[in-house]
Structure 1
Amino acid sequence: MRYRPISFDRLATELAERILALPGTPWVRVAVDGALDTPLLADALVDPLRVSGRPVLRVSTVDFLRPASLRFEKGKQDAEARYFDWLDEGALRREVLNPLSPGGSGMVLPALWDAERDRATRLDRVELPPGGVVIVDGELLLGRGLPFELAVHLSISPSALRRRLPEEEQWALPAFARYEEEVDPATVADVVVRADDPKHPAVAA
């Protein structure tokens, strides 16, 4: 796969342009997937889209994790559990993605679970007007059959991930390695960004 060097700002601009050019649907659902840096890129898409007149809602999968009693059933550092059990995939579909499907209500719950306090957020649903864009960021998102109109994957080499992942998160490396082997997200995503160095990204040509 060939990559084209690009500045972070230009990357955000190009992705926003691609989102704006997607075929007309009631709403556009965008995934920003990767082991690191997904909130930064997802946040950078908001202003260009809003300036173009599109309502935008930001959602993070860290607000759709299962309760600690389920996530940590096998221990707090179980890589297999992180791969399979941390994300409440059903809730993400039910509360965010399905309401923005054709014929959906447009009423989205932006966050479900406060993982730090391990309790429900108790937020109200918000309405995303037709033509709006929801940008969902998180890890291990692809290969689940989740309905996105555009999926962006931040690809990080194993050596770079080992170097950049905080020491307290190193136990999760086998989960990301398994994701690469079983899902091969670079072949599933619509856009692949090489992100070994976040200051010098490159987009697949």
Structure 2
Amino acid sequence: MRFEAITWERLTKAVAGRVDAAEPGDGSAWLKVGIDGAPAAQTGETAERIAHALRLRGRSVLVVGTGGFLRHASLRFEYGKQDPDAYYSGWYDTGALWREVFRPLEAGGTGRVLPDLWDPVKDRATRSPYTELPAGGVLVLHGPFLQGHWFPFDLTVHLRLSRGALARRTEDAWTLPAFQRYEDEVGPADAADVVVRTDDPRHPAWNGLPS
């Protein structure tokens, strides 16, 4: 895979332009964008950049982070608080993401999305109100391990870190085997539409937009 240097501003404008010109692949009235990457890659920042660029184009955008869809602590920590396999496959409530985020945005859906479900600090439901995303709006979902669940993204951006950069920038080193498992089982760089190399966040590089 070949990469070329790009600024975050140019990258954001290019991705927003592609999304703005796209049609939902599932026949619904909403577009869905996934920003996939380890916490060290700061997917939330990229998601907000793209959302801002889309809003400047007149699009309604809802940004959702998978951190708001963690499972109850009793489920997350069933095998201990530092089990990488549990982190990979048991921390994030993908069923709730399907139910509360994606299904309302299917063809014939209501557009009523729950932006978050669980507060991991207080370990209880957030009780956040539903958000109405109007027809023509865009969902931008960000977080780790997004690919491999058949989520109906119209465009997926993977923020890639080399193994060395991931190790240097990850605070919880015990999670590193989970990201290696993701590489081995899913191959996120091969599966994504756009790959952004973020070893140095000040100087990103990307593989360009899909043809």
TM-score by length of 2: 0.94
Distance 2:131 2:166 in 1: 36
> Among residues 197, 200, 207, which one is paired with 1:194 in the alignment?
197
Cross-structure match for 1:20? 20
1:93 aligns with 2:95: no
SS in 1 for 2:109: coil
Distance 2:151 2:52 in 1: 25
Cross-structure match for 2:148? 143
> Among residues 148, 163, 170, which one is paired with 2:168 in the alignment?
163
Cross-structure match for 1:172? 175
Distance 1:107 1:141 in 2: 21
Q: Deviations over 1:70-105 (max 9, x none)?
A: 001101100000011001000001000111111111
43-52 vs 175-184, which moves further: 43-52
- Amino acid of the residue matched to residue 203 of structure 2? H
SS in 2 for 1:58: strand
Distance 1:46 1:32 in 2: 11
1:40 aligns with 2:80: no
Match runs of 1:38-187 below 5 Å: 38-166=43-171, 169-187=172-190
Cross-structure match for 2:32? 29
- Amino acid of the residue matched to residue 121 of structure 1? T
Alpha-carbon RMSD across the aligned residues, in angstroms, is 0.9
SS in 2 for 1:45: helix
CA contact (8 A) 1:195 1:202 kept: yes
Distance 1:156 1:102 in 2: 35
Distance 1:116 1:58 in 2: 20
Count of residue pairs brought into register by the alignment: 203
> How much identity, in percent, do the aligned residues show?
52
**Cα distance, 1:116 vs structure 2:** 1.0
Distance 1:101 1:193 in 2: 28
**Cα distance, 1:194 vs structure 2:** 0.8
Distance 1:98 1:148 in 2: 12
**Cα distance, 1:45 vs structure 2:** 1.0
Distance 2:113 2:10 in 1: 30
**Cα distance, 1:197 vs structure 2:** 1.0
CA contact (8 A) 2:75 2:90 kept: yes
Q: 5+ unaligned residues in a row in structure 2: which ranges?
A: none
Distance 1:160 1:111 in 2: 30
- Amino acid of the residue matched to residue 131 of structure 1? G
CA contact (8 A) 1:37 1:198 kept: no
CA contact (8 A) 2:111 2:133 kept: yes
